[in-house]
Amino acid sequence: MPGEKAFGLALALEIFPQVLLDGIVLGFMYALIALGYTMVYGVLEFINFAHSEIFVLGAFVGVEVLLLLESSGQLATLHPAMILALVIFAGMAISGLAAMALERVAYRPLLGGPRLVALISAIGASFFLQDGLRLFESLWRNTFYLSYPTLPFLDSHLPLTEALVMPVKSLLVIITALATLVGLYFFVNKSKLGMAIRAVAQNPETAALMGVAVKRVIALTFFVGGALGGLAGVLFGIHYSLVNPYSGFIPGLKAFTAAVLGGIGNIPGAMVGGMLLGLLEAFAASYLSILTDGAFGAEYKDVVAFLALILILIFRPRGLLGETVRESKA
Amino acid sequence: MKQPLALAGLCLYIGASSALAYFFPQSVLAFLSVEAALLLLYWAPVSQGARVVLGAVVLLLLLPWLGTLNAYYLEIAVQIGIFVALALGLNIVVGFVGLLNLGFVAFFAIGAYLWAIFGSPHANQFIPGGLFPLSPNWFFVFLLLSVGVGALTGIVLGLPVLRLRGDYLAIVTLGFAEVVRALVNNLDMPINLTNGPRGITPIGKPPLFFKPLLQWLGLDLSDAALYPLYFYFLVLLVVCVIIAVTLRLENSRIGRAWKAIRDDEVAALAMGVPVVRMKLLGFAVGASFASAVGVLFAAKQVFINPESFTFMESIGVLAMVILGGMGSIPGAILGATGVTILNLQLLKGLSLWLNGLRQSGAVLSLPLLGELSLAHLPAQFEPAKYERMVFGLILIVMMIFRPQGILPARQQKK
């Protein structure tokens, strides 16, 4: 019926700005996580499968810090900016250190061996960390489904237009992520350590000959990637509020998809890929049911994301912006 | 000189362990000792003939007989059999061809849903005529059909992605499994194909075509008593067929081509091995095994829902293959048995024991921590829920210390 079609179109137009905003928030989240995958892939050529748990660890550190502040009564007295800085710093530091420890224990002994071996070890680490987190929270709080305490200063909305309200939470995600991405750009491209990371990614042997301490650079890369993942975790927790040890799996998989989408090993690629995937997913979630008259709904957003991955790999196996990894040594 | 001694020892051990299981039919340990007999049989220095005869005695007579004393034994044996078959299928893909497939459970799910949809009244919802459930005799047709469907799905998925680098393939297969699970979970709308998260039940069981024969022999067992035994022998048969097929493949041109690809793809290509076609073949064979086992699983469970086909299962099967030894057939069998027993018996047993302690309110005195009352042990702490941790540890520890597995594949003698 033409009337119904017109109604669908009107609805589609009306929700467009909101969907766009959701997509951008999700996109920044994926971009932050994807950077961890892509940087590690750049220096080691291997998928750090446990990165999704590093991300969840960040979310858990965030909730623990907030709950501790709450129980000591400081959540109401401290300045909001102070609280945010504390939570974000703690999440980034602990996730970064955990990623470094992971590299030391589970990956370094396997360097130079077949790739499959390291990947399997990473999968093992991912599973171990999931249940490790669960074990810790079960013993510590007797539950492993935690929710972020409400922060009043984050629960307000900025009405931008009549149709579009901007939650302060979303604004926080966008601003923090943007600032971090700019910072990362300067770190990688302008600082000496960033140059060392790029050198190792290009060719570890030559970098070693030029006096770069390759192992330390690899550890540093894990730290930076892990810290970005931890930041994403804290932002994820603040934005969606509920976390459990297994909530990293799907976002991790999506973020990896984003990294591949942009071209693995490619830092700007991870940002572009993350943003694209976030938008794609938000639009799929809202528009699939409008497009198909309710036959397929938001529950197919994961299917759309993975189909996108498969299609990209078939038609553009090196990603949108191209891979920047060295030719694999046979 | 050593042989008769070893043979006598083995027979003695088998007799003693089955006597143990006979007198303590509730004991998990007694049953484990019977299962260990098979492992001893593999290692003992006896002739091939004695090994086959003793193995047949244990598998065909002892285990079913013990199963009539305690049906739980048969249940475990059937579970083990299903996982052994899955592990053998994945072993071809990961162990022989060297492709990491993280979505193996998807093929298992496809087989299971194939029989679940048509072997239950569910298909009436979208095919008019009231033809369903199909008669039990169709079970065997579907068992064969699932081999074809599994292989076809494997090829359809493999065709676009097998040209990719190994680690991309791992992620794509993982994504594929998630897509299959999402579809199974959500295809109760707009047409109700899978009944969504509610699952499908009752799924038809295989036909008892031999019942007249048993009656003629004077054995009048009820259906309820017959089915566990029937499934046991059916699974045993399927596992034997899979082992036979795998062995034949391994020692053929195809098997050698697979191993050449695994060891060095570029060299294999240079020697004229059709790499992509061989990879596809390996992918398809593994998928068809999983799919056939899925049909069996659906018939055994009577009820299936998407919960049985999560990423956990894929990793569980991978852990089995890696624990036993990639590319090794006895290894895959041992790994599947070990992990299944660990999961079904040891972890569950530990949970029950801890719960018992908790309820008894016992107090544990630890040297450094002082007195710890077990009644205060958090209720959330249950070993049976930590299978991920166990799988994770298996994977890391094996990769670092013994990447070739417990029973590594023997190098080809030349």
Cβ <8 Å between B378 and A139: yes
pLDDT single digits (tens) B84-112: 999 999 999 999 998 888 889 999 999 99
- B101 min Cα distance to partner chain A (Å): 11
pLDDT single digits (tens) A105-163: 888 888 777 777 888 899 899 999 999 999 888 888 888 899 888 887 777 777 777 76
Least confident of A23-37, B21-35, B183-197: B21-35
* Residues of chain B with C-beta less than 8 angstroms from the C-beta of A118: 399
* Contact status, residue B374 vs residue A107, Cβ threshold 8 Å: no
What's the sign of the alpha-carbon dihedral A160, A162, A163, A167?
A: positive
B192 → chain A, closest CA residue: A295
pLDDT at B370: 59
- A201 min Cα distance to partner chain B (Å): 18
* Contact status, residue B58 vs residue B38, Cβ threshold 8 Å: yes
pLDDT single digits (tens) B28-72: 777 778 878 888 888 777 788 888 888 888 888 888 888 777 778
* Contact status, residue A242 vs residue A147, Cβ threshold 8 Å: yes
pLDDT at A27: 94
DSSP state of B208: -
pLDDT at B369: 58
Cβ <8 Å between B190 and A295: yes
Confidence band, pLDDT 50/70/90 cuts, at residue A275? very high
- A314 min Cα distance to partner chain B (Å): 6
- A181 min Cα distance to partner chain B (Å): 26
Report the C-alpha gap between A169 and B205 in whole angstroms.
Answer: 54
* Residues of chain B with C-beta less than 8 angstroms from the C-beta of A318: none
Confidence band, pLDDT 50/70/90 cuts, at residue B361? low
Could you give phi then psi for residue A147, rounded to 5 degrees? -130, 145
Check pLDDT > 70 for residue B371.
no
Taking residue B199's Cβ as centre, other Cβ atoms within 10 Å add up to 18
* Residues of chain B with C-beta less than 8 angstroms from the C-beta of A297: 186, 189
Cβ <8 Å between B161 and A135: no
Q: Is A326 on the interface with B (CB under 8 A)?
A: no
Q: Is A101 on the interface with B (CB under 8 A)?
A: no
pLDDT at A328: 47
* Contact status, residue A254 vs residue A261, Cβ threshold 8 Å: no
Check pLDDT > 80 for residue B205.
yes
Cβ <8 Å between A110 and B185: no
- Inter-chain Cβ pairs, chain A and chain B, closer than 8 A: 139
Cβ <8 Å between B399 and A121: yes
Amino acid at A304: V
* Residues of chain A with C-beta less than 8 angstroms from the C-beta of B392: 123-131
Distance from the Cα of residue B120 to its chain's centroid: 24
> What is the DSSP annotation of A71-132?
HTT-TTTS-HHHHHHHHHHHHHHHHHHHHHHHIIIIIGGGTTS-HHHHHHHHHHHHHHHHHH
pLDDT at B372: 60
The stretch B105-123 carries a mean pLDDT of 91
* Residues of chain A with C-beta less than 8 angstroms from the C-beta of B400: 106, 109-110, 121
DSSP state of A327: P
Q: Answer with the residue of higher pLDDT: B370 or B123.
A: B123
Taking residue A211's Cβ as centre, other Cβ atoms within 10 Å add up to 8
Q: Answer with the residue of higher pLDDT: B137 or A90.
A: A90
pLDDT single digits (tens) A181-190: 899 989 998 9
For chain B, list the domains and their CATH numbers: 1-69 (no CATH), 79-354+377-401 (1.10.3470)
Report the C-alpha gap between A192 and A222 in whole angstroms.
Answer: 17
Cβ <8 Å between B392 and A306: no
Cβ <8 Å between B393 and A121: no
pLDDT at A288: 82
Check pLDDT > 80 for residue B211.
no
pLDDT at A222: 94
Could you give phi then psi for residue A318, rounded to 5 degrees? -100, 10
* Contact status, residue B152 vs residue B285, Cβ threshold 8 Å: no
pLDDT at A1: 44
A46 → chain B, closest CA residue: B167
Structure tokens that stand for A43 in this block? 């220096």
Cβ <8 Å between B395 and A121: yes
pLDDT at B59: 85
* Residues of chain B with C-beta less than 8 angstroms from the C-beta of A123: 102, 315, 318, 392, 395
* Residues of chain A with C-beta less than 8 angstroms from the C-beta of B166: 115-116
Cβ <8 Å between B161 and A314: yes
Burial class (CB in 10 A: 0-12, 13-18, 19+), A1: exposed
Q: Answer with the residue of higher pLDDT: A58 or B378.
A: A58
Cβ <8 Å between B399 and A115: no
- A252 min Cα distance to partner chain B (Å): 11
* Contact status, residue A320 vs residue A262, Cβ threshold 8 Å: yes
Q: Answer with the residue of higher pLDDT: B371 or A315.
A: A315
* Residues of chain B with C-beta less than 8 angstroms from the C-beta of A308: none
Q: Is A302 on the interface with B (CB under 8 A)?
A: yes
Which residues lie below 8 Å from residue A261, measured CB to CB, with a gap of 6+? A269, A272, A273, A276, A277, A308, A309, A312, A319, A320
Mutate to test the interface with A, among B262, B400, B404 (most CBs of A within 10 A): B400
Q: Answer with the residue of higher pLDDT: A232 or B371.
A: A232
Query: What is the average pLDDT value for chain B, to the nearest integer?
Result: 84
A294 → chain B, closest CA residue: B190
Q: Which of B102, B168, B392 sits opposite A128 (nearest CB)?
A: B392
Share of chain A above pLDDT 90, in %: 38
Which residues lie below 8 Å from residue A99, measured CB to CB, with a gap of 6+? A36, A48, A51, A54, A222, A223, A225, A226, A227, A229
- A293 min Cα distance to partner chain B (Å): 10
Cis peptide leading into residue B274 (ω within 30°): no
Q: Answer with the residue of higher pLDDT: B170 or B366.
A: B170
> What's the N-to-C CA distance of chain B in angstroms?
29
Q: Is A295 on the interface with B (CB under 8 A)?
A: yes
Query: What is the average pLDDT value for chain A, to the nearest integer?
Result: 86
Mutate to test the interface with A, among B99, B179, B269, B404 (most CBs of A within 10 A): B179
The stretch A83-108 carries a mean pLDDT of 93
Report the C-alpha gap between B113 and B106 in whole angstroms.
Answer: 10
pLDDT at A329: 41
pLDDT at B274: 93
Looking at this predicted complex, what is its ipTM? 0.83
Nearest to B87, CA basis, from B241, B243, B282, B279: B243
Interface of A with B in 146-205 (CB under 8 A): none
Check pLDDT > 90 for residue B144.
yes
- A172 min Cα distance to partner chain B (Å): 31
Distance from the Cα of residue B413 to its chain's centroid: 30
Report the C-alpha gap between A291 and A278 in whole angstroms.
Answer: 19
* Contact status, residue B35 vs residue B334, Cβ threshold 8 Å: no
What's the sign of the alpha-carbon dihedral A32, A38, A42, A48?
A: positive
- B75 min Cα distance to partner chain A (Å): 28
Least confident of A275-284, B50-59, B262-271, B291-300: B50-59
Q: Answer with the residue of higher pLDDT: B2 or A151.
A: A151
Interface of A with B in 114-133 (CB under 8 A): 115-121, 123-132
Report the C-alpha gap between A212 and A67 in whole angstroms.
Answer: 42
* Residues of chain B with C-beta less than 8 angstroms from the C-beta of A109: 400
* pTM of the predicted protein model: 0.87
